[in-house]
């Protein structure tokens, strides 16, 4: 695949043209690179030109793909601001489950758990099931984490300890109920749960640093692509800052 890492309007205005010869050459380079790094021949090489997210969405739709894997690249601050990260762009609204492989996490710790964040939404349930299936396949423990945003006293601009304790109590009850569902659906997985005060991204990143998980799983919820990029999202922040491989799971279709 040939990715043009720029906005759609830039592609249109520059009127970039790529001929069949360039496409064939790109396919040959991609096939050679894959063989060199994996030792096997790819089943197919699909070379397309266009904005990354649109191209990947088309490929996923055409191939009816269930999983998309990308590598987390390292870019300078200026490039990240003015051009944008392909991975973060896709993580805002993945066309299917997206796994972002950390460049320093290609051989994760054998003893590490699979960690999944939950907010008890439809998307979170899909993320939990994906994480549980992965944990079962690896024979790894699964840790389900729920973050409780500390309520604040508007007039004083400080945390409300009474409201926080009530929120934590509700969350623990909800996690207990969620634990029961997971235990029934995934009886062979060693499960643990945690309820922690803090924003979802902060809590999950701290868990990633503390537990060194084999995989960190988050659900994709909320805004559309453009608004998610503008406001930021838990998935984007976790993908950008996590020291491990991250899976972003969209809600189950249908």
> Rounded to whole angstroms, how far apart are CA atoms 7 and 172?
44
pLDDT digits (tens, 9 = 90+) for 65-103: 999 998 876 554 444 443 347 788 888 788 899 999 888
SS3 call for 88: helix
User: For residues 121-148, b (16+ Cβ closer than 10 Å) or e, as one string?
Assistant: eebbbbbbbbbbebbbebebbbbbbbbb
Q: Report the pLDDT value the prediction gives residue 52, as an integer from 0 to 100.
A: 79
Give the pLDDT score at 4.
41
pLDDT per residue as tens digits for the range 7-38: 444 445 445 566 778 888 888 888 898 888 88
- What confidence category does residue 110 fall into, taking pLDDT thresholds of 50, 70 and 90? low
Select the highest-mean-pLDDT range: 12-21, 154-163, 198-207: 198-207
pLDDT at 3: 44
Q: What pLDDT, in 10s, does the model give residues 119-139?
A: 888 778 999 999 999 999 999
Instruction: State how far the Cα of 95 lies from the Cα of 151, in Å rounded to an integer.
Output: 34
List residues bridging with 159 in a β-sheet: 152
**Rounded CA gap, 89 and 99, in Å?**
13
Distance of CA 220 to the CA centre of its chain: 8
pLDDT, residue 74, reads: 54
The answer to whether 205 touches 242, Cβ cutoff 8 Å, is yes
- The chain-wide mean pLDDT, for the chain, equals 80
Tell me how far apart the alpha carbons of residues 183 and 195 are, in angstroms, rounded to a whole number.
18
Q: Which domains does the chain have, with CATH numbers?
A: 1-50 (no CATH), 114-249 (3.40.50.620)
pLDDT at 197 over 50: yes
What local confidence, expressed as pLDDT, does residue 214 receive? 93
Question: Which of the two residues, 8 and 209, has the higher pLDDT score?
Answer: 209
Q: Which residues pair with 194 in a beta bridge?
A: 145
């Amino acid at each position: 695949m040939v990715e043009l890492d720029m906005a759609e309007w830039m592609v249109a205005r520059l009127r970039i043209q790529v001929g069949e010869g360039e496409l064939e050459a790109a396919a040959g380079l991609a096939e050679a690179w894959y063989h060199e790094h994996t030792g096997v021949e790819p089943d197919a090489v699909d070379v397309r030109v266009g904005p990354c997210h649109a191209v990947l969405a088309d490929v996923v739709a055409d191939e009816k793909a269930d999983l998309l894997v990308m590598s987390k690249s390292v870019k300078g601050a200026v490039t990240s601001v003015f051009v944008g990260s392909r991975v973060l762009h896709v993580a805002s609204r993945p066309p299917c489950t997206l796994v972002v492989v950390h460049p320093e996490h290609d051989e994760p710790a054998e003893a590490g758990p699979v960690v999944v964040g939950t907010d008890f939404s439809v998307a979170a349930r899909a993320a939990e099931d994906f994480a549980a299936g992965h944990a079962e396949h690896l024979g790894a423990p699964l840790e389900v984490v729920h973050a409780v945003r500390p309520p604040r006293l508007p007039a004083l601009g400080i945390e409300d300890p009474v409201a926080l304790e009530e929120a934590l109590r509700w969350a623990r009850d909800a996690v207990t109920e969620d634990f029961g569902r997971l235990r029934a659906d995934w009886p062979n997985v060693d499960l643990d749960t945690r309820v922690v005060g803090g924003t979802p991204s902060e809590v999950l990143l701290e868990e990633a640093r503390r537990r060194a998980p084999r995989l960190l799983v988050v659900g994709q919820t909320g805004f559309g692509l453009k608004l998610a990029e503008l406001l930021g999202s838990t998935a984007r922040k976790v993908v950008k800052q996590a020291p491990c491989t991250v899976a972003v799971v969209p809600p189950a279709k249908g």
